[in-house]
Amino acid sequence: DAGVIQSPRHEVTEMGQEVTLRCKPISGHDYLFWYRQTMMRGLELLIYFNNNVPIDDSGMPEDRFSAKMPNASFSTLKIQPSEPRDSAVYFCASRRTGQETQYFGPGTRLLVL
Amino acid sequence: QKEVEQNSGPLSVPEGAIASLNCTYSDRGSQSFFWYRQYSGKSPELIMFIYSNGDKEDGRFTAQLNKASQYVSLLIRDSQPSDSATYLCAVTEDNFNKFYFGSGTKLNVKP
What does residue B79 show for φ and ψ, rounded to 5 degrees?
-55, 140
User: Which pLDDT score is estimated for B8?
Assistant: 87
Dump pLDDT digits (tens) for A93-106.
999 999 989 999 99
User: Which pLDDT score is estimated for A18?
Assistant: 97
Region A20-36: what's the mean pLDDT? Answer: 97
Subunit contact A43:B45, Cβ cutoff 8 A: no
Report how far residue A96's alpha carbon sits from residue A79's, in angstroms, rounded to the nearest whole number: 27
User: Which pLDDT score is estimated for B96?
Assistant: 84
Report how far residue A54's alpha carbon sits from residue A103's, in angstroms, rounded to the nearest whole number: 18
Q: Write out the DSSP string of B89-105.
A: EEEESSSS-SEEE---E
Considering only the beta carbons, identify the residue of B34, B44, B97 that sits closest to A104.
B44
Report how far residue A89's alpha carbon sits from residue A9's, in angstroms, rounded to the nearest whole number: 9
Subunit contact B98:A105, Cβ cutoff 8 A: no
DSSP β-bridge partners for residue A92: A34
The distance of B85 to chain A (nearest Cα, Å) reads: 15
Spatial contact of A37 and A45, defined as CB atoms under 8 Å apart: no
User: Which pLDDT score is estimated for B55?
Assistant: 94
Assess whether pLDDT exceeds 70 at residue A1. no
Low-confidence ranges of chain B (pLDDT < 70): 1
Considering only the beta carbons, identify the residue of B43, B98, B100 that sits closest to A91.
B43
